Amino acid sequence: MPASSQPVVVIAGLSHSYGSGATRRQVLFDLDLTILPGEVVFLMGPSGCGKTTVLTLVGGLRSVQQGSVRIAGRELLGADEAGLIANRRNCGFIFQSHNLHRSLTALENVRMGLEAQGRGLPADADERCRRILAVVGLEDHATKRQDQLSGGQRQRVAIARALVSEPTLVLADEPTAALDRQTGHDVVALMRRVARERGATVLMVTHDNRVFDLADRILEMEDGRIVGSRQGDSPVPHAGAGHRLEYTT
């Protein structure tokens, strides 16, 4: 990972609650977290411990209530809707269920990642989409819709969609949950590799210990707090600048 860069994610004193009054329930307590550029960080912990809430706050999908969340230098505490949208455009999202649009082809779904930037599509948009589909091994599936793709292929399209706009930060929410062991590992390995190639940082929520070897750092959460941090089981060497790894399944 680039050692001299500024942190991509800086969280300080983050607390968050759902509901109000008697039904108010605090899910995050005074959380601190810093993630460096290019780092692949897994967030794990039991259900309801607050992992997904962290992900949604970092992604600008919820407003920060208390504490500071700074993404690539942009403070999200007090950010208006436009500020949150700008942050979302700087992130690539990969969801538990791929959430591909069922009426669009793989290529069109990936293109939505560029259209989401709100700047109009560049002339070479399709070329860029085809290139990243080739990177995830789906160059021959560009015109297929999701019902013509396997679970692993769909998740690879989702990865391509998340990364096509070259985001600073990739946020993934249990992307292996619906996949078998080998496919799940392949998908995360691919996500990690492509993110690295494009200089993106990855924050991924997962329960899946089968992919822990792909993390640089694993954070354990419990009851809204980070209770542990360790290095990944078997770190993979980082790709250098301009170096492209071949994808194999």
Using CB under 8 A, list all residues that contact another protein.
52, 55-56, 59, 61-62, 85, 88-89, 93, 95-96, 99, 101-104, 108, 111-113, 115-118, 120-123, 125-126, 161, 173
**Measured between alpha carbons, how far is 136 from 6 in angstroms, rounded to an integer?**
29
CB of 56 to another protein, least distance (A): 5
Give the nearer residue to another protein in terms of CB position, either 109 or 201. Answer: 109
What is the distance, to the nearest Å, from the Cα of residue 191 to the centroid of all Cα atoms in its chain? Answer: 9
Tokens 């948009």 identify what position? 125
Tokens 């791929």 identify what position? 98
Give the nearer residue to another protein in terms of CB position, either 36 or 43. Answer: 43
Q: Are 205 and 57 in contact (CB under 8 A)?
A: no
Give the nearer residue to another protein in terms of CB position, either 51 or 193. Answer: 51
CB of 181 to another protein, least distance (A): 23
What is the distance, to the nearest Å, from the Cα of residue 175 to the centroid of all Cα atoms in its chain? Answer: 9
The DSSP call for residue 21 is: G
Give the nearer residue to another protein in terms of CB position, either 173 or 216. Answer: 173
Give the nearer residue to another protein in terms of CB position, either 22 or 82. Answer: 82
Chain length of the chain? 249
CB of 195 to another protein, least distance (A): 16
116: helix, strand or coil: coil
134 φ/ψ angles, rounded to the nearest 5 degrees: -65, -40
CB of 166 to another protein, least distance (A): 13
- Which amino acid type is present at position 48? G
CB of 63 to another protein, least distance (A): 10
